[in-house]
Structure 1
Amino acid sequence: MPRAAELSIVLPTFNEAQNVPILIELLHETLDGIDWEAIVVDDNSPDGTTEAARGLARQDPRVRVIRRIGRRGLSGACIEGMLASSADYVAVMDADLQHDEALLPEMFAELKRGETDLVVASRKVEGGTIGEGLSKFRAWGSNIANSLAQKLLNVSLSDPMSGFFMIRREKAEEIAPRLSAQGFKILLDIVSSFGGRLRIKELPFTFRERQHGESKLDTLVTLDYFGLLLAKYFGNAISVRFLMFGLVGASGLVVHLIALRLFLVVGDYGFNLAQTAASFVAMTSNFFLNNQLTYRDRRLTGIKVIQGLLTFYAVCSVGVLANVGVAGLIYQDPAYWLFAGTAGAIMGAVWNYAASSALTWRKS
């Protein structure tokens, strides 16, 4: 009977069918002498990642597979993987071969000494480098993201954007209820949620170039990151999802004004008609952005997209009435126009968020 694992390596995956078998083989070579297991948490990849991982699991009891249906996102996958572990120590690393598995034994040894709660593989400490793993543009963006995290959240890590770390499982269990299942920067979420109470060690590593598949980073992920920063900055008083909804709403205002101008100048519409048309353009933009970003874990597909869009139109129409109604109750004097307008906008936003969550993107 195989011994219980003392180290679990959580591998969040989406479209990594080619990389997972290679990584598992590398783990066998690297972790000789350590009782380990790999927990592949796959977001129902269309490329057959789940099937590839299960094929490995049938031959190797060290490989476990979690297939997530109707739930997406790296942070959520990491949380589920960590909570599925019974080992004393849990590592999180990408399955795209960009993280150096050869560092795992040293990370493991650091934790076993008992003086550290979290070991982070850093590209920013002496000896670490981004190597060929990031383009110049992405490296620039990563530096900005690091700086924002350090300044806004008072995070002392040199590389809070790292997705490669190892933590004591009891610490992961302790903080899990406070973590956001959305987003992709689970390490930043963990460290900021502990508020300086973790004993942290950073080790250098070189970020390698991806060999197979495509990067999952895009513009929407950037918005997701800013939502996490704001949520943590305000002490989790406002959920990441609500902040994402608000950021999308702000982008909708820009879309609305551009569309309004086009309808007035190019289309030669009357103002009321142009305003109405621009509102529907903005609502449509907001719906698709929310579907891709804010509710990515409940993303609508197929015919449900049309049904969801119509529901969203209805929700937002009621939101306008709530906005105007609250503002009208407050507006008794022209001097209060700003307060009235702000209160109405907040009421409309809260209604739109609550109703959209319950009706348009309700949990199945």
Structure 2
Amino acid sequence: MTTAAGPTLCVVVPCYNEAPNVAPMIAALDAALAGIAWEVVFVDDDSPDGTADAVRRIAHADPRVRCLRRIGRRGLSSAVIEGALSTSADFIAVIDGDLQHDETRLPLMLAAVQQGADIAVGSRHVSGGDAAGLASLWRERLSASGIRLARILARAPINDPMSGFFLIRRAKFEALAHRLNGQGFKILLDLLLASPQPLHIVEVPYRFRPRAAGESKLDILVLVQFAGLLIDNTLGGGLPLRFLAFALVGAFGMVVNLIVTLLARRAGIDFGTAQAIGTIIAMVANFEMNNRLTYRTIRLRGARYWRGLVLFMLVCGLGAIANVGIARALYHANTAGIAASAAGSAIGVVWNYAVSATLVWRAR
């Protein structure tokens, strides 16, 4: 047994392919947190670039540094949850591994929570803050769209609900942990939505830096996952988030089917052939979107991708047969045409989701 005191602050760094940033991040934290007992936990989603090895090389000589390597699991929010629950420190900070957040603001954020705030948020959108590090107009608009949506549903006034840079008391995090959705990329918003009472938030301005190395993970799929989180919260968690994503992708496939069929008809192709072409293209589009979005964490690659595509098309073909059969049966039983069609579609979606999850994207 030892009598050495544990860390006051644990900095959780969710990362994927951030090997070049590991040593600079640790050096920056060492300088910024002078006089504070701290540790850092890099939660690495089995990066192929050797991020975990880069952390462990430093951890051999520095006991404040730890690596939590996850195999078969992906996602920023779930990485933060696992990292936060792995520490005994009284306070938990979350910071991205790409060096775009300003670690020198951590002492101010720690002081704010020690003085009574529930959570301190590094904010780009208060006086003194700056989001210039987003670099492109596309990323600025994507982030701004998410912020507008989040402000509507957040249960506390906040200017930057999409921030990935915040500090919270461990006891508060653990109290909310069982209520977290844990999917997607916006763990701060997840915390705000999970809290039964509005949280006392202090926003600390910081300048969002340009990325030093690696590639940005902000893309349209992140925004779609974010929309799924909002829908899930609105429905009170009554439906699995993956099912919602699967259904939204299916709706997109219906649009693709309609557009392709209309274009084929304009090209002089008969309706039956045009419909078949549209259906096949829609199935392929749905498979690709589900593989990249709905089942992003267990995405199929290589030979498994092509096997999955064939299985998916077979599953959806059977689902289409069930859809039409049930709709016809209900219609002949004097059910209104729209209601019969809706019931058939609902059965088809549930069938496609259940069988796809079992056969196509079966967790390894």
TM-score, normalization by structure 1? 0.93
SS at match of 1:160: coil
Please tell me whether the aligned partners of residues 155 and 192 of structure 1 are also in contact (alpha carbons under 8 angstroms): no
Shift, 1:177, TM fit: 2.5
CA distance in 2, matches of 1:199, 1:100: 22
The amino acid of 2:258's aligned partner reads L
Counterpart in the other structure of 1:4? 6
Please tell me whether the aligned partners of residues 149 and 155 of structure 1 are also in contact (alpha carbons under 8 angstroms): no
Please tell me whether the aligned partners of residues 153 and 232 of structure 1 are also in contact (alpha carbons under 8 angstroms): no
Q: 2:53 aligns with which of 45, 51, 54?
A: 51
Please tell me whether the aligned partners of residues 249 and 289 of structure 2 are also in contact (alpha carbons under 8 angstroms): yes
Matches for 1:8-47 after TM superposition, within 5 Å: 8-47=10-49
SS at match of 1:70: coil
CA distance in 1, matches of 2:169, 2:329: 54
CA-to-aligned-CA distance 1:282-333 (integer Å, 9 cap, x gap):
1111111111111111111221111211221122122213322332333247
The amino acid of 2:210's aligned partner reads E
The amino acid of 1:22's aligned partner reads P
Shift, 1:204, TM fit: 1.2
SS at match of 1:167: strand
Matches for 1:178-327 after TM superposition, within 5 Å: 178-266=179-267, 268-327=268-327
CA distance in 2, matches of 1:77, 1:132: 24
Shift, 1:155, TM fit: 4.7
Please tell me whether the aligned partners of residues 283 and 313 of structure 1 are also in contact (alpha carbons under 8 angstroms): yes
CA distance in 1, matches of 2:303, 2:179: 35
CA distance in 2, matches of 1:308, 1:181: 26
CA-to-aligned-CA distance 1:80-108 (integer Å, 9 cap, x gap):
11121221111111011110000111111
CA-to-aligned-CA distance 1:219-238 (integer Å, 9 cap, x gap):
22221111112111222222
Please tell me whether the aligned partners of residues 327 and 343 of structure 2 are also in contact (alpha carbons under 8 angstroms): yes
Q: 1:78 aligns with which of 77, 80, 94?
A: 80
Counterpart in the other structure of 1:357? 357
Identify if the C-alpha distance between structure 1 residues 198 and 291 changes in structure 2 by more than 3 Å, giving closer, same or farther. Answer: same
Please tell me whether the aligned partners of residues 155 and 192 of structure 2 are also in contact (alpha carbons under 8 angstroms): no
Shift, 1:334, TM fit: 7.5
Q: How many residues are aligned here?
A: 362
Please tell me whether the aligned partners of residues 156 and 198 of structure 2 are also in contact (alpha carbons under 8 angstroms): no
Please tell me whether the aligned partners of residues 326 and 344 of structure 2 are also in contact (alpha carbons under 8 angstroms): yes
CA distance in 1, matches of 2:157, 2:294: 28
Identify if the C-alpha distance between structure 1 residues 48 and 250 changes in structure 2 by more than 3 Å, giving closer, same or farther. Answer: same
SS at match of 2:125: coil
SS at match of 1:25: helix
Comparing 257-266 and 104-113, the one that deviates more: 257-266
Comparing 317-326 and 69-78, the one that deviates more: 317-326
Shift, 1:68, TM fit: 1.6
Comparing 24-33 and 257-266, the one that deviates more: 257-266
Note the residue ranges of structure 2 that are not aligned, 5 or more in a row. none
Identify if the C-alpha distance between structure 1 residues 238 and 211 changes in structure 2 by more than 3 Å, giving closer, same or farther. Answer: same
Identify if the C-alpha distance between structure 1 residues 86 and 329 changes in structure 2 by more than 3 Å, giving closer, same or farther. Answer: farther
The amino acid of 1:118's aligned partner reads I
The amino acid of 2:229's aligned partner reads L
Please tell me whether the aligned partners of residues 129 and 207 of structure 1 are also in contact (alpha carbons under 8 angstroms): yes
Shift, 1:140, TM fit: 2.6
Identify if the C-alpha distance between structure 1 residues 326 and 6 changes in structure 2 by more than 3 Å, giving closer, same or farther. Answer: farther
CA distance in 2, matches of 1:13, 1:53: 11
Please tell me whether the aligned partners of residues 146 and 223 of structure 2 are also in contact (alpha carbons under 8 angstroms): no
Matches for 1:56-75 after TM superposition, within 5 Å: 56-75=58-77
Identify if the C-alpha distance between structure 1 residues 206 and 317 changes in structure 2 by more than 3 Å, giving closer, same or farther. Answer: same
SS at match of 1:56: helix
Shift, 1:26, TM fit: 0.6
Counterpart in the other structure of 1:344? 344
CA distance in 2, matches of 1:220, 1:155: 26
Percent identical among aligned pairs is: 47
Shift, 1:336, TM fit: 1.3
SS at match of 2:336: helix
CA-to-aligned-CA distance 1:2-46 (integer Å, 9 cap, x gap):
531221111011111111110100101111121111110111212
SS at match of 2:246: helix
Please tell me whether the aligned partners of residues 98 and 133 of structure 1 are also in contact (alpha carbons under 8 angstroms): no
Counterpart in the other structure of 2:131? 130
Shift, 1:277, TM fit: 2.6
